[in-house]
Amino acid sequence: MRHAEVLTLTFVLTVLLVPYAQAGQSAKAPRIGYLSLGPGPSPRSEALQQGLRDLGYVEGRNITIDNRWTDGNLHRLQEAAAELVRSQVAVIVTGGPQATRVAKEATTAIPIVMAVDYDPVGAGFAASLARPGGNVTGMSAVSPELNGKRLELLNETVPRLIRVALLWNSAEPNAAAFMRETQAAAQVLGLVLQSLEVRAPRDLEAAFQVARKGRASALSVLTDPVTLYHRA
């Protein structure tokens, strides 16, 4: 996570925590819920904690952070979101679009700060970037168009490229926007896309077998937790 992103996220969080700080030292330390499909602590979550410390919010002293890692299990993610809502955390920080969607479905009252999203308006998290509305705010990478750029790079580096295998997951909230940009770029470049949907890690090997049989010359990957956390 870049320094500017840490500053933005921690600023949003501190604004949300102001009412608790104004309540005085006798008030119970506010609890921040961190919800992620990831397998455990990441550079992003560690950077967030460091950013909070830099602004005077220290875990165990004047805030409590309730981390919920779900290791790619969507059902567990839904359970974790419900648990955070029942425990009445002051704010929920989400580590990705799917966590944001689940948190938004779990509560309309608790503020949700998304650590990263690619197209929050397209995903239905915000009415607009200027005026999000609802209870969701945070960071947006606004990057669906980068998927088209990836195809352009493949076309420049792979000689006589015709067929590209495309790994993607329709459960990813931004999948529709990603796919539109990728298909538009493929049409302009004269490339054939071989759609390979993966919804779980167990689908990856079969997808690669299909790509090989289809004689794909290159691979493009649309980001989602399955491809991100199992990129090796």
The stretches in the chain having pLDDT less than 50 are: 1, 3-4, 7, 25-26
Q: Round to whole Å and give the CA distance between 172 and 122.
A: 12
Domain boundaries defined on the chain: 3-138, 146-229
Confidence at residue 191, expressed as pLDDT on a 0 to 100 scale: 96
Q: Round to whole Å and give the CA distance between 215 and 73.
A: 32
Find out whether 115 and 91 touch, Cβ atoms under 8 Å. Answer: no
Helix axes 146-157, 175-189, angle to 10 degrees: 40
- In the chain, the DSSP E strands lie at 31-36, 64-69, 91-94, 112-114, 136-138, 163-168, 192-197, 218-221
- The string of pLDDT tens digits covering residues 158-189 is 989 999 999 999 888 888 888 888 999 999 99
- The string of pLDDT tens digits covering residues 81-95 is 999 999 999 999 998
Confidence at residue 17, expressed as pLDDT on a 0 to 100 scale: 63
Count of CB atoms situated within 10 Å of the CB of 40: 9
Confidence at residue 19, expressed as pLDDT on a 0 to 100 scale: 59
Buried b / exposed e along 173-207 (16+ C-beta atoms within 10 A): bbbebbbebbbebbeebebebbebebeeeeeeeeb
Q: Round to whole Å and give the CA distance between 193 and 171.
A: 19
Extract the tokens encoding 199. 């919804």
Confidence at residue 26, expressed as pLDDT on a 0 to 100 scale: 44
Counting residues of the chain whose pLDDT is more than 70, the rounded percentage is 87
Confidence at residue 115, expressed as pLDDT on a 0 to 100 scale: 83
146-229 has which fold? Rossmann fold (3.40.50)
Backbone phi and psi for residue 68, each to the nearest 5 degrees, phi listed first = -125, 100
pTM for the model stands at 0.69
Evaluate whether 3-138 and 146-229 have a shared fold. Answer: yes
Q: Which of 70, 65, 37, 38 is nearest to 50 (CA)?
A: 65
For the domain spanning 3-138, the CATH number is: 3.40.50.2300
Confidence at residue 87, expressed as pLDDT on a 0 to 100 scale: 95
Confidence at residue 205, expressed as pLDDT on a 0 to 100 scale: 95
Confidence at residue 52, expressed as pLDDT on a 0 to 100 scale: 86
Q: Which of 113, 188, 104 is nearest to 145 (CA)?
A: 188
